[in-house]
């Protein structure tokens, strides 16, 4: 019986060790990726990550000190407890050291806040983003030119500060690209601002960080950081009207798009479709995803979205078109995918 208990105790300890290793490895895996605040790709995110690591280090120092005191108090013999020394350790290790460490960390953490919220230099690129339920309206504001309107995707030039002007027409959203900068609330009736300066190219993931309704978790967007020349070419192409698709199936899809009233909610520049309720679809086929990061950009996914909108995204305001025959849904999807 005694050996059995020892064996069980050994297995229990092994299980704890394995669990600790797995948890540590899982935590490390979460430090990288397209949506990690600990894998910064922007000046602001780098500063925030630096503050986080120093805060973590300070908390670790305090925790280790408390554990050492607790172990010493539990294991020391009664005669080893000198009253003066014990009081000194309690006051010094339990009050003075944590107060000093936390005060230093507080000052260190507050000091960079003004710089993180400093306005962008004059002449910087400005992007207005409106948080809708549950998607993102994006407008590139160009001096002496019409804004370039798109949805659910953002591209940024490398190494240049960009000012985001954020608002919402309905509920509070929170604009967050963890790898590039901190969060900023989007409040109805107000315009908040956030400056981002990307420091490396790549594709990153943004999301709404404030619960805003039943499809809050399906409100993401890709962010692509490009070299300046590549970004300029992309923005110039986005400003152009849509091209008439040459394929027969896609051309029929355009007729169906207009005949079924889609243009009442969506804009496709270069066509009679001029709705402003829903996302601008002028170049939707060139985007990395559809439905605010919920589906991949493929004709089959367009069909799924158009026919089963509220199944894919519960609470979405767009009506479903599952009454259309499969061949018409296919043509409509080919048209949307062809809008490059």
Q: Is the pLDDT of residue 259 over 50?
A: yes
Which pLDDT does position 234 carry in this prediction? 97
CA atoms within 13 A on the CB side of 239: 13
Which pLDDT does position 15 carry in this prediction? 53
Angle between helices 326-338 and 248-259 (to 10 degrees): 100
Q: Is 186 exposed, middle or buried (0-12, 13-18, 19+ CB in 10 A)?
A: buried
Q: Is the pLDDT of residue 4 over 80?
A: no
Which pLDDT does position 20 carry in this prediction? 45
Q: Is the pLDDT of residue 129 over 70?
A: yes
Query: At 176, is the pLDDT very low, low, confident or very high (cuts 50, 70, 90)?
Result: very high
Which pLDDT does position 236 carry in this prediction? 95
Give the separation between CA 73 and CA 202, rounded to whole angstroms.
52
Give the separation between CA 17 and CA 19, rounded to whole angstroms.
5
Q: Which two tokens stand for residue 46?
A: 């780098």
Distance in Å from the first CA to the final CA of the chain: 74
pTM of the model: 0.83
Facing residues of 166 across strands?
129, 192
């Amino acid at each position: 019986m005694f050996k059995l208990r020892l064996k069980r105790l050994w297995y229990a300890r092994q299980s704890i060790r394995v669990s600790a290793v797995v948890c540590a490895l899982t935590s490390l895996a979460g430090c990288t990726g397209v949506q990690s605040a600990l894998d910064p790709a922007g000046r602001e995110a780098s500063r925030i990550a630096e503050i986080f690591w120093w805060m973590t280090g300070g908390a670790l120092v305090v925790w280790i000190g408390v554990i050492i005191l607790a172990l010493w108090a539990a294991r020391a013999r009664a005669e080893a407890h000198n009253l003066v020394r014990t009081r000194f350790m309690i006051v010094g290790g339990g009050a003075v050291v944590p107060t000093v460490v936390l005060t230093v960390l507080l000052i260190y953490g507050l000091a960079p806040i003004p710089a993180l919220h400093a306005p962008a230099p004059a002449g910087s690129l400005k992007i207005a983003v409106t948080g809708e339920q549950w998607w993102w309206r994006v407008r590139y504001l160009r001096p002496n030119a019409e804004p370039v309107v798109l949805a659910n995707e953002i591209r940024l030039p490398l190494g240049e500060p960009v000012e985001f002007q954020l608002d919402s027409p309905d509920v509070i959203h929170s604009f967050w690209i963890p790898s590039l900068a901190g969060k900023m609330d989007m409040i109805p009736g107000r315009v908040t601002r956030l400056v981002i300066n990307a420091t490396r190219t790549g594709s990153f993931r943004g999301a709404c960080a404030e619960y805003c309704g039943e499809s809050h978790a399906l409100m993401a967007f890709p962010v692509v950081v490009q070299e300046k020349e590549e970004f300029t070419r992309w923005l110039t192409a986005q400003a152009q009207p849509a091209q008439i698709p040459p394929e027969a199936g896609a051309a029929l899809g355009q007729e169906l798009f207009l005949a079924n009233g889609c243009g009442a909610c969506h804009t496709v520049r270069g066509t009679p479709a001029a709705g402003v309720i829903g996302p601008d679809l002028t170049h939707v086929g060139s985007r990395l995803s559809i439905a605010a990061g919920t589906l991949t950009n493929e004709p089959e996914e367009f069909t799924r979205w158009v026919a089963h909108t509220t199944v894919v995204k519960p609470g979405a305001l767009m009506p479903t078109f599952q009454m259309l025959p499969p061949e018409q849904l296919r043509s409509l999807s080919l048209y949307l995918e062809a809008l490059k």
